Amino acid sequence: MSNAEYLQHKILAHREKLKRESDELKAQRAAFEIGAPLLFKHLAGLLDKIDGVDVTGMSAFDHHPTSKAGWLEIQILDRKARFVSADQNGQLFLEVTGLFDRKLDFWLQQGGKWVANDERSSSTITLSDDLLFTRLAALVP
């Protein structure tokens, strides 16, 4: 292989890598744009009829036209848990505050699960209905 052919091969390989990464990012964003509003609707439905729990939310289109997910806020007495769509290097995730003793970032996995890496305990946390109710109950004094 000549020097010119080698250079051409490297350029083409790099372009293919960039295209693949771009396609993966677009797919991740598209999945998030569908998954986050579904999660918000599900959580609001679970909590809607519980006296003392207020659920509010907003489409992010009002502030961030690149994301339709927006945010969801759950208020119990004077405590709040917030789920906010966020962006890190083009990848979308949910930043969850007030539900745990620290902020956790939940990423949508294939299959529709929301998972956070807990660096403090070197484990993963999967968001589930049971976990949500356990953590919300912990907010009540």
Residue-wise pLDDT tens digits, 21-69: 999 999 999 999 889 988 998 999 999 889 999 998 865 444 444 455 6
What are 66-95's pLDDT values in tens digits?
Answer: 455 688 999 998 999 999 999 988 889 999
Spatial CB neighbours of 66, under 8 Å, sequence gap ≥ 6: 87
Question: Taking the domains of the chain in order of start, what are their residue ranges?
Answer: 3-139
* The overall pTM is greater than 0.85: no
SS3 77: coil
